[in-house]
Structure 1
Amino acid sequence: MGGLTQDPAFAATTFVVIDFETTTPTGYPAQPIEVAALALRYREGTWKETGRITSLIRPPAFAPVTPADTAQTGLTAEQLAEAPTPEEALGALDRRLTAGTPYLLVAQHAATEANVIHHQSAHCPALARTDLLDTIPLAKHLVPGLFNYRLDTLLARFAIPQPPDRHRAPADVDVTAQLFRKLISAADQSGDFSDLAALVKTAGRTARANKPLQTGLFDV
């Protein structure tokens, strides 16, 4: 590996690959019905998994599971009826984050995960303050010219097998983690990223909780 993975800041960071499945009720933000997260650290030249969590989530009454949701994910209203609430599921995930440890969330099209987390921030305040890395701009930098940068396209490009339960959060986290590791390997080989800061400059996304509040035009 090259300069990126030799950077002390990179080695100190825990990368948490995260994925949500959601419902999309009219007039409301997307509501989570499943979450999975997988924590990775790069140590002594290899990736090590340091934690994993997954949970179904019971949606609120205004966001029922639709036939389209079931067709996409396989999840049904009956499966979710007794699932943990968002407060319970995301609170459990939030408590897995250790104060003082540097984290970055990793997601495919991270804006989607960032918005879900932002709207659930009351249940997961530490998670909501964690910045993100997006695999899409990183892939665009490293593998220019693909006809699109959807997850399925990138899995095929990097010869990552499609999981049988694609569009379930645990399966999507697993393949996104594989993609992330391959992208980091390509980033090291390219020499374009000397350190974590360079990686964040290309693929980073600031958590909405960490963005400065915009004051009014005439505030003094």
Structure 2
Amino acid sequence: MGLTKDPAFQATTFVVIDFETTTPTGYPAQPIEVAALALRFEDGAWKETGRSASLIRPPAFAPVTPADTAQTGLTAEQLQQAPTPAEALGALDRRLTVGTRYLLVAQHAATEANVLHHQADHCPTLARTDFLDTIPLAKHLIPNLPNYRLDTLLAHFGIPQPADRHRAYADVDVTAQVFLQLISAADLDLQLGDLAALVKTAGRTAKANRPVQAGLFDV
């Protein structure tokens, strides 16, 4: 039948998401920028159904460092007037429609999943949404690459490097392009014939959805 003909696949909105963060000692990574791009496969073609990007003001314990600025170009001055995590992530969370099936998509999804887990008070719906990770999907479909970093995948697919690489909105765009290339390849893979198989290969369960293990000595 093919992956994109699976009714469950067609009923899912795929939200490509990317964070830029600062990583203070002794604390989890704190977001300083978020971007998201919603895609849905309808009538044989991909359609963009939503797009969002926002700077985020980090808390005082997580200041932007020179290393952060060197990577992203973002400075402490730029972020002083940015929305708080509660404002930025709350606004993004409210864009998700009740009753719609979502999967988040990210390159190395553990990074984005951890940020959302630690910000769950501000974005409870996003924090409960499971992920597809482009890395294990690419490893399955393109087994002989030297590595599976985003830049390597961009080069493999002939996708130009964005001018603002390491800004969330630019990285979301190119990650989405990689994702669509991977889905095109998955459509021809007999092992990835439906959404369930795709999730088994490349899925990552949100921490909020994982079963809580009872203590070994609970009585």
TM band (smaller chain): over 0.9
Listed as ranges, the matches of 1:43-82 within 5 Å are: 43-82=42-81
Match of 1:10 in 2: 9
Question: Are 2:129 and 1:157 aligned?
Answer: no
Q: Which runs of 4+ in 1 moved over 2 A?
A: none
**CA–CA separation in structure 1 for the residues paired with 2:146 and 2:162:** 22
**CA–CA separation in structure 1 for the residues paired with 2:190 and 2:156:** 20
Q: Which amino acid aligns with 1:204?
A: G
Match of 2:100 in 1: 101
Q: Is the 8 A contact 2:103 2:130 kept in 1?
A: yes
Match of 2:195 in 1: 196
Listed as ranges, the matches of 1:87-166 within 5 Å are: 87-166=86-165
Structure 1, unaligned runs of 5 or more: none
- SS class of match (1:148): coil
Q: CA deviation at 1:192?
A: 2.3
Q: Which amino acid aligns with 2:123?
A: C
- SS class of match (1:154): helix
- SS class of match (2:191): coil
Structure 2, unaligned runs of 5 or more: none
1:137-194: per-residue Cα shift (whole Å, max 9, x none)?
A: 0000000011110000000001111000000000000000000000000011223211
Question: Are 2:206 and 1:207 aligned?
Answer: yes
**CA–CA separation in structure 1 for the residues paired with 2:5 and 2:52:** 28
Q: Which amino acid aligns with 1:10?
A: F
**CA–CA separation in structure 2 for the residues paired with 1:45 and 1:128:** 30
**CA–CA separation in structure 2 for the residues paired with 1:127 and 1:142:** 28
- SS class of match (1:156): helix
**CA–CA separation in structure 2 for the residues paired with 1:53 and 1:139:** 26
**CA–CA separation in structure 2 for the residues paired with 1:15 and 1:207:** 15
**CA–CA separation in structure 1 for the residues paired with 2:177 and 2:148:** 15
- SS class of match (1:197): helix
RMSD over aligned CA atoms reads: 0.7
Worse-matched range after superposition: 85-94 or 210-219: 210-219
Worse-matched range after superposition: 79-88 or 2-11: 2-11
Question: Are 2:84 and 1:85 aligned?
Answer: yes
Q: Which amino acid aligns with 1:22?
A: T
**CA–CA separation in structure 1 for the residues paired with 2:70 and 2:152:** 21
Worse-matched range after superposition: 189-198 or 76-85: 189-198
Q: Is the 8 A contact 2:2 2:188 kept in 1?
A: no
Match of 2:34 in 1: 35
